[in-house]
Structure 1
Amino acid sequence: MGFLVRFLVVTSSLGLAVLIQNYRLLSRSLPAPQLDLNEYWGPGSAENYVEDTTVKPFNIKVNTELISDLKAQLSRPLKLHEPLEGVAFQYGFNSKELQNIIKYWRDTYLRKWDENEAFLNKFAHFETQIQGLRMHFIQVKPKKRRR
């Protein structure tokens, strides 16, 4: 065999070995992070914090001034970079899609905020406090399907 053929075989073998090793590294399962379940995550200091895990009913009510302010902020021009071609969301949120979402919120969703707020309040909303963080959640049970 000539030098060129041997060089190509060795180079191809090394390239294949690198690809296999990278695949193994990227596809392996990572261990779950170890978190302190008593750590304080809320705002301010944890010195005077007393945990209150009581689950309380919650109703969505947003002030109209806050909705007007949000509309005004969404109307301001954004300084966004053009997304990379053919990349979708692989390197972060696609700026063209972000423009579409902002336009939808500003021109469609927020214009009907009263209707949307009424729709959201049809569900059972609750809030509680866990490790200093205020948690808001919805409890919706699925309807049983008939067979």
Structure 2
Amino acid sequence: MSSKKSSKGEKLKNEKKLEEPSSLGKYFIVFLVLGGLTAYSAYKYLSTPLEKPVLDLEQWWGPYPIDLKKDVSIRPYQIEFSDVIVNDLRERLLHSRPLTPPLEDVGFNYGFNTNYLTKVLDYWKNNYNFKEREQFLNKYKHFITNIQGLDIHYMHVKPKVSANVTVVPILLIHGWPGSIREFYEIIPKLTTVRPDQKFVFEVIAPSIPGFGFSQVRKYFLRFRTQETKHNPDT
């Protein structure tokens, strides 16, 4: 009897051992299917184009009451640092309040380091060449036009090319915070034809509302910058 029981026990053990790989195979298939479905869902989500936002291109962002006679022409703009502006700035810097010393060895971890800020203020007061910077900033053509109640400033740089070269317009929008100054070094590369290419870019670079020389209003938080960039004349 004991031999029969032991043989039955061994048989059951062998059957369980045979079932274990089969069970692992089933789990592997399930995980493989779930992984495939997850990967497919992620691919669909990432590759599906976003819906085009609905923009109100007639929304008024300027002061009220609405001025329907507002000048919407494109006007040349010249950046100018007048003596009045420069002297006023230097006067304010000369009478600035003493700065609180920073903690030791903190660098810029807790905000702008006031030891370094002292050097910046001294540079502005005594060494910054405003006239030289004015000439540099005006090396490209600047314009202002009114879009939906706000005066928007922008640079427009057209390439000088022959008729057989394709000119492609490109809109460069600076970051937040930032300014059109970010594009001064790249503009020549975009507007100059390379030997291996037959196209070149025509650059439009606006100052987003509230930056540079573009207007902004107090309710700017609900403002959508892209709604001011539809003017085809710019």
Scaled by the length of structure 2, what TM-score is found?
0.41
Q: Is the 8 A contact 1:126 1:136 kept in 2?
A: yes
Q: Which has the larger radius of gyration?
A: 2
Cα distance in 1 between the residues matched to 2:137 and 2:79:
8
1:28-107 to 2 correspondences below 5 Å: 28-42=48-62, 44-45=63-64, 47-50=65-68, 51-62=70-81, 63-64=85-86, 65-66=88-89, 79=110
Q: Is the 8 A contact 1:57 1:124 kept in 2?
A: yes
Look up the match of 1:20: 40
CA RMSD, 1 decimal: 3.6
Structure 1 counterpart of 2:58, one-letter code: N
Using the aligned pairs only, state the percent identity. Answer: 32
Structure 1 residue 61: deviation in Å?
1.9
Structure 1 residue 28: deviation in Å?
1.0
Q: Which moved more, 1:8-17 or 1:47-56?
A: 47-56
Helix, strand or coil at the partner of 2:51: coil
Look up the match of 1:133: 150
Judging changes above 3 Å, is the alpha-carbon distance between structure 1 residues 19 and 4 closer, same or farther for their aligned structure 2 residues?
same
Cα distance in 1 between the residues matched to 2:52 and 2:146:
24
Judging changes above 3 Å, is the alpha-carbon distance between structure 1 residues 146 and 29 closer, same or farther for their aligned structure 2 residues?
closer
Structure 2 counterpart of 1:37, one-letter code: L
Judging changes above 3 Å, is the alpha-carbon distance between structure 1 residues 112 and 16 closer, same or farther for their aligned structure 2 residues?
farther
Q: Is the 8 A contact 1:56 1:128 kept in 2?
A: yes
Q: Is the 8 A contact 1:52 1:130 kept in 2?
A: no
Judging changes above 3 Å, is the alpha-carbon distance between structure 1 residues 67 and 12 closer, same or farther for their aligned structure 2 residues?
farther
Structure 2 counterpart of 1:7, one-letter code: Y
Unaligned runs of 5+ in 1: 81-98
Cα distance in 1 between the residues matched to 2:25 and 2:60:
63
Cα distance in 1 between the residues matched to 2:131 and 2:137:
10
Helix, strand or coil at the partner of 2:40: helix
Cα distance in 2 between the residues matched to 1:55 and 1:39:
20
Helix, strand or coil at the partner of 1:2: helix
Structure 1 counterpart of 2:152, one-letter code: M
Per-residue displacement from partner, 1:30-80 (whole Å, max 9, x unpaired)?
2211111111123x43x333342111111112432458979x9xx996636
Cα distance in 1 between the residues matched to 2:129 and 2:53:
42
4+ aligned runs moved over 3 Å, structure 1: 65-70, 75-80, 110-114
Look up the match of 1:88: none
Look up the match of 1:4: 24
Structure 1 residue 6: deviation in Å?
1.0
Unaligned runs of 5+ in 2: 1-20, 101-107, 162-192, 196-234
